């Protein structure tokens, strides 16, 4: 198995159609390809954790690099692991994050702070914790999974939101 964390700069505003499209496509693709993970959406950035079969995760990362809904994709952590997924049944979790609380906010000039390997690991653990918390309590964003909501019901709710 392989686990990976990246960040990128969002091109559209948070909770917009672009975020919904990313989430719906990730839920479908990841479920079909044994990938789990979590996507944190900040005011100006995405942070995403992925866990799954090495070849599939790395191929997906190549597609993500070329995705036009964000730019300046930077892999922060990429490693093989024997550990089972910490994201349980999350094909892709989603929630909003205050970038400054993570120490990862852009500067006034739009420059991203450096991320050390230790900080990348901390970000991974933050996303694992978010996934576990959302499993029990649900998330705070309109696109987050609700408590006890099945993946199918979640996809259906998001798809309905997309058509409005």
Q: Domain locations in the chain?
A: 2-162
User: In this model, does residue 164 exceed pLDDT 70?
Assistant: no
**2-162 fold:** Alpha-Beta Plaits (3.30.70)
63-67, 92-96, 101-105, 156-160: lowest mean pLDDT where? 92-96
User: In this model, does residue 63 exceed pLDDT 90?
Assistant: yes
**Residue 78 bridge partners (DSSP):** 4
Q: Is the CB of residue 39 less than 8 Å from the CB of residue 92?
A: yes
User: Looking at residues 18-32, what average pLDDT do you find?
Assistant: 88
Q: Which two tokens stand for residue 105?
A: 């906010």
**Residue 80 bridge partners (DSSP):** 2
- pLDDT for residue 89: 77
Kindly calculate the radius of gyration of the chain based on its CA atoms and give it in whole angstroms.
Answer: 15
Q: Can you tell me the distance from the alpha carbon of 123 to that of 114, in angstroms, rounded to the nearest whole number?
A: 13
15-29, 51-65, 108-122: lowest mean pLDDT where? 15-29
User: In this model, does residue 13 exceed pLDDT 80?
Assistant: no
- pLDDT for residue 38: 92
Residue-wise pLDDT tens digits, 92-124: 888 888 888 888 999 999 899 999 999 999 999
* 12-18: long-range pairs with CB below 8 Å, 24+: 12/69, 14/41, 14/42, 14/43, 14/96, 15/41, 15/96, 15/141, 15/142, 15/143, 17/162, 18/69
């Amino acid at each position: 198995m392989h686990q990976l964390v990246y960040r990128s700069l969002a091109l559209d505003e948070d909770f917009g159609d672009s975020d919904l499209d990313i989430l719906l496509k990730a839920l479908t693709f990841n479920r079909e390809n044994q990938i789990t993970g979590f996507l944190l959406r900040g005011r100006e950035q995405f942070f995403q954790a992925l866990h799954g079969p090495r070849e599939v995760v790395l191929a997906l990362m190549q597609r993500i690099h070329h995705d036009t809904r964000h730019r300046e994709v930077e892999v922060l952590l990429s490693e093989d692991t024997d550990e089972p997924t910490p994201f349980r049944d999350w094909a892709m979790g989603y929630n909003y994050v205050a970038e400054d609380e993570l120490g990862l906010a852009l500067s006034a000039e739009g420059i991203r702070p450096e991320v050390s390997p230790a900080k990348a690991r901390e970000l991974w653990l933050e996303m694992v914790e978010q996934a576990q918390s959302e499993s029990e309590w649900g998330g705070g964003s309109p696109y987050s999974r609700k408590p006890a909501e099945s993946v199918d019901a979640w996809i259906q709710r998001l798809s309905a939101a997309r058509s409005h």
